[in-house]
Chains A and B, each alone.
Chain A
Amino acid sequence: MSTRRWLRMSWWNAVLALVVLAGAVAMAVLGRWLVAAIFLAVVVLVVASAVYARSGRASDLTRLNAVEYLDERDRAVGTQAFAIVGVLALVLSMLVFILGTALLEPDSPMFFVLWGQIIVLTIGWAVANLVALRRS
């Protein structure tokens, strides 16, 4: 994940922090103060871990866990790790799909979720292959 110098964190962490911050604001507006406080704590944690990972004192494992890649090796290892997570997600989703098909009532709305998850993951895989090939 590329990093803007002025941002001091990757765009990945910036987007994550902004989304959770928006969630915290929404919860505060709805008067759910405890959830808002938890969301705010998550934002602080994300920003703090990103800044620490960028500080130069962090290990390579800390940088990878914080998604703050410093150089080509970090990016290569990070890509490999995310690829493994992707395979795991595909296998587990297929398992949940099979179990859901066997166990759920035929008119259950959860079928839409299971089908949607499998379809989105499969399309995502195909698009990822295409993008990876184009960039290689």
Chain B
Amino acid sequence: MARMTSPLDMTSVLVMPDHVKYAFHMQSRVRELRLQQALSQQALAQALGVSRQTINAIETGRYDPSLTLAVQLARHFETTVEELFDVDA
């Protein structure tokens, strides 16, 4: 989210903009595919043996899953890792 800053606004120094903060994380289609299957984050998390917070972090681009979890996610949605995650985004 873009922040309006003034020369005296020190929070702009302390708060990292989202486009910088998430610059090194992948975008994914996990949320889109999960909603297509009418699954909750909790249900998907239980199916994969991870926490609901991890699914949320992957969906919001705050966490890049390991290769193992990425493959498990892709298998769950019957797609490929490259279809599920966009490293060039």
Contact = CB atoms under 8 A, between A and B. Distances in A.
Report whether over half of chain A's contact residues are helix, strand or loop; otherwise say mixed.
helix
Q: Interface range on chain B: under 10, 10 to 19, 20 to 34, or 35 or more? A: 10 to 19
A4 interface: no
A7 B66 CA distance: 27
Interface stretch (A12-20, A27-35, A68-76, A125-133): A68-76
B61 interface: no
Interface residues of A, number: 9
Report whether over half of chain B's contact residues are helix, strand or loop; otherwise say mixed.
loop
Contacts of B66: 72
A59 B50 contact: no
A59 B53 contact: yes
Contacts of B63: 73, 76
A60 B49 CA distance: 14
Given A59-B53, A72-B66, 6 more contacts: A70-B50, A72-B68, A73-B57, A73-B63, A74-B51, A74-B54
